[in-house]
Amino acid sequence: MYDVKLNLSHFPAQCDAEVLNITVGDLLRETAASQPDAVAMVDIADNGDCGQSWTYGKLLEQAERLAEALTSRFEAGEKVVVWAPNIPQWIFMEYACGLAGLVLVTANPSFQVSELKYVIEQSGAVALFMVDKFRGNPMAEIAQQATNGNTALREVVNLENEDALYALGKRPTALPYVQPNDAAQIQYTSGTTGFPKGAVLSHKSLVNNARLFCTRKQVSPHSVWANFMPLFHTAGCATGALGCLQAACKMLLIKRFDADVFARLIEEQGITTCFAVPTMLFNLLDSLERIPRDMSSLEVITTGGAPVPPDLVRRVRDRLGCHLLSAFGQTEHSPMICLNPVEATLEQIVETAGQPLPQTEVSIRSPEDNKVLPIGEVGEICAQSYAVMIGYNDNPEATAAAIDRDGWLHTGDLGTMDAQGFVRVTGRVKDMIIRGGENHFPAEIEAVLVTHPDVAQVAVVGLPDEKWGEVIASFILSDQPLKVADLRTHCRAHLSAQKTPSVWVHVPDFPLTGSGKVQKFAIRDKFLAGNYGEVLQ
């Protein structure tokens, strides 16, 4: 914990750790050279059984073989989309792209046609690497529709077809020289309109951010990290995978979170750490009530993406016997900005996201004039560091809006800072909804719902929920009887399941500003006060 006493809401970058000039590929080579026989990754089946495993030496061999195949088919700097769940081939692609100088574009395996099409086309991808299906989503059919007519796309490859994945093209197989400041990934995230923007992240930003985050949460070679956070998200492929790589520890690669399976894995595999959103931890505690297990191996769990209820922190400490540390970050910062240290008090963990990580400068600024605010005043959380994104892909206007002339990343989140530099997140400048740690964008959902013939106008907002952090609620103006089943079906035809609202309210009108804009905060307040609209069942 840093011993500081601030007079303004401006935490200077602490230089107690180094920012390394290194690439993803070179980091893999270094770890494989120093710890060739250490277990790097274990593939975990849906039922919790351990499948194939790879040492760091074998992982490097696999990555270099794939990198040579990719280099023979693509030029350094080209973009390729990886559309798959947490399977070993995803990790192979992450490291192979790093070695080959390709930019890996991540895509959620629950995407539907319009979502996948948007990411492929906006990124300018020349290839799509995918699986045929996952959790009932017919990905092969979706990919066929999403890529129809795309002349820039040269390959669509099934990641589980080894012959196609490792096929050699006509180009030389010699790996290119990749530099730390080169783009490594494009991760799609929210925009002011609610439609996704591609945050371009460098090798240097991803590698260093993962290392500094994991150092604070005390990950070491003896650690066993359960990585069930989706690899298409920075918490999975960056903080998780790259954090494990730098610690040279074992990563259990888990396709999806199941509380009962996770509890058994902790007991059987000696899991010491993970990143889990609060919803997952509630489910784990519920599982242990039904089936008690030995949790003694757990040391530190980090959490974020939703407020942390005080009762959850206490229950984790009492039942799991480990630290629960809250964090704050965003994709545009590769992603972590703050994390509570293990020395933090219960109050600090519940009420704040901790102090900034090393080499990260954070300030709370007035949204009106961009001036740094006094201690304790609410303003926009801003960050400046090595980890700030290169920019939004092919979107200079959005980049300029997010990163000011002095290099400060404006997160869009509101918060305060105390005299010790602990940051408290109080809300969002934008209307993004965070449900179970996953970001959802109201405008995207509204654009689908308003096409339903019975919907005249719609406003989508987040409502507070103890388990999920927030749930998605749809407030609808209509002069027709509304059927929830029809509205859900309409949503699911165009959007992923997790974007479908769980609360449906038929309202007589919307609160408006003087200029006629819908006041979403007023909708939320009126509904929570219990005097607004008819809840549909």
**What single DSSP character describes residue 317?**
I
Q: CA 521 to CA 525: how far, in whole Å?
A: 6
Phi then psi for 520, rounded to 5 degrees?
-70, -35
CB 125 within 8 A of CB 152: yes
pLDDT of residue 383: 98
Cα angle 189-190-191, degrees, rounded to a multiple of 5: 130
Residue 424: partners with Cβ closer than 8 Å, 6 or more residues away: 351, 352, 353, 415, 416, 417, 418
Fold: same for 19-328 and 433-535: no
Q: Which residue has the tokens 């602490």?
A: 14
The token pair that represents 106 in the structure block: 């991540």
- Superfamily, domain 433-535: ANL, C-terminal domain (3.30.300.30)
Strand partners of residue 300: 273, 323
CA 100/CA 172 separation, integer angstroms: 12
What's the whole-number average pLDDT of the chain?
93
Segments in 431-532 forming alpha helices (H): 442-449, 484-492, 520-528
Any idea what DSSP says for residue 124?
T
The predicted model scores a pTM of 0.85
Beta strands in 418-523 (DSSP E): 423-428, 433-435, 438-440, 457-465, 469-477, 503-506
CA atoms of 336 and 332, how far apart (whole Å): 9
Tell me the per-residue pLDDT of 265-303, one tens digit each, with 9 for 90 and over.
999 999 999 999 888 898 999 999 999 999 999 999 999
Distance CA 200, CA 43 (A): 28
Interior CA angle at 271 toward 269 and 276, to 5°?
135
Instruction: Give the pLDDT confidence score for residue 193 in this predicted structure.
Output: 43
Pairwise CA distance, residues 202 & 198, whole Å: 13
Phi, psi dihedrals of residue 128, rounded to the nearest 5°: -125, 120
Class of domain 19-328: alpha beta
The 8-class DSSP code of residue 113 comes to H
Q: Taking the domains of the chain in order of start, what are their residue ranges? A: 19-328, 433-535
How far apart are the C-alpha atoms of 278 and 307, rounded to whole Å? Answer: 8
pLDDT on residue 515? 47
How many Cα atoms occupy the beta-carbon half-sphere of 470 within 13 Å?
27
**For the segment 48-107, what is each residue's pLDDT rounded down to a tens digit?**
999 999 999 999 999 999 999 999 999 999 999 999 999 999 999 999 999 999 999 999
Task: Please give the backbone phi and psi of residue 417, each rounded to the nearest 5 degrees, phi first.
Answer: -130, 135
Between the two ends of the chain, the Cα-to-Cα distance in Å is 49
* Ranges of the chain with pLDDT below 70: 190-194, 305-307, 427-430, 513-517
C-alpha 299/C-alpha 512 separation (Å) is 50
Angstrom distance (rounded) from CA 37 to CA 62: 14
Q: Cα angle vertex 152, ends 146, 157, to 5°?
A: 60
